[in-house]
Structure 1
Amino acid sequence: MVYDENSISSKRSVNNHERGRKMNVEKTFAGTHNSAAYNLTYDCDSLADACKLKYASNSCNEQYETCKNNRTASCDIQANVFKNWNPTFFQWTGDLFNSICKTSDILCVAWRTVCKGSGNACELLRDACKKDFSNRVLECLWENNQGYPIKQQLEDVGNGSVVSCHGERLRRALGTNLDSIFLDIKKFMEDNPNEILNIAFGDYDGLNGTFVANYIQDKLEYYFVNGSGYSLMLQEKRGWPKLNKMIEINQRIVIWFGRLYYWLWLNNTRKDWVHSINTHFTVSYTYTAGDLTAQQLNESFNGWSNNSQNVIADDLKNYGYIRWQTIDVT
């Protein structure tokens, strides 16, 4: 389950009796923002009604009267604007316009006609809105839970789930659930008894790190620890076994946690087959970040491999053990 700042919606106090003593206990309830904001349609009727109100007959008549009462001043303003925008020899036409304007309310009549006619356009607006209003606009601006009905929201809040993702918050994209991923991995490991696999959970998005970390760990245990307690995942030992030894003892999956490792450690719930990325793990991105072509990548990898003895010596000096090297390039 992905949590955000709006997930904690309310608290209430309840009475609890323990050893004959009344205690005040706070219960926190999970919630969602705009829970029923799906299967929406734009309110085209309100839009059209507001349009008609603006161009109602009485409104058009009021604007006509205002035009008549202010006609003289309005004619002067329009004539001056006309003069300022035209050469001197052509300004006499501005004076002609002013004199005609002041002796007739034809411009005000014309505006009233246009105004009343606009009321008919409001009905056209209503029809066009209902027919052509884009679903993409709805999903962007209003449908916070598009394709995610109340029933599904309640089931998720009740059960809790974690899915794969890339990015965070507004830049986040969600993937599939862990069950389907772990089932594929389990089938592959069963079909390929000599394969060794590293799985790294580098990051997570949401507030409840304890929930996410324990959820992933429980799922791993469900799929890769058998009924007798034997783990397909490599348990923590003093020093890392060689690959052939991992195959021999059939502990061929190495589990790494990034930021999530902290939550297992904080709550003292970490299994001995969960290892810390920060302390035992290094990625090739540190020396391939600037590579853009296959040739550049090959040169970087070969250069690193040729320098492996120095790398090992450096790890032993700074960490006391040799870190895992992984390929992770742009």
Structure 2
Amino acid sequence: MALPVEESSKKPPSFQDDLPSIYPCNGDVRYCYLRYDQYTFAGSHNSGAYDLSFDCSTALGMIKFMCYKGIPHPLMNCLWNNMANRNLLRQLRDGIRALDLDTCQVDDRTVLCHGEDRVRALGEELPDAFSQIRQFLEENPFEVVTIEFGDNDGDPRVNAPNIASKLEEHLGDYLYHHRCSQWLCLGRWM
């Protein structure tokens, strides 16, 4: 969790009366008065890298042997499953508030993945991943979660619209579209 710095811990006069004193933002009422860009979100790298399956359809050469011999569990975890046994919902319940999701194109679909081109492992479909995030937000209405889309393997003209439409479909009422020069305080997002 972030610790407010001295200058940002002061309540803006125009905002201090807007929130009840017991209103918790990401676990602490003091965080409600921090702007989004003043708060440090606990995050996980390659958040979607769990329960992945090696993509044998793209593998070539030396790496293809893993498709026939099977990938030993420890090797799979080392190379691709960085978040083994920790799906998105579990990570959020454990305190993670910033998710770094890598995506890959499979035909005309976009899925969570880790790696790219000939050495990639594929994971969940976006609706399944976004449903976990939605479930957490429904269970925890005073939490702010950041989703960042990192590496993208595939055609951005396919992946970008897929990601945008699935985000809107599954998390639309929870999304914040930043359009002004200064970020809002976390308490304004509740």
**TM-score, L = length of structure 1:** 0.25
Which is richer in helix? 1
Structure ID, larger Rg: 1
Q: Which has the higher contact order (CA 8 A, sep 6+)?
A: 2
Which is richer in strand? 2
**TM-score, L = length of structure 2:** 0.43
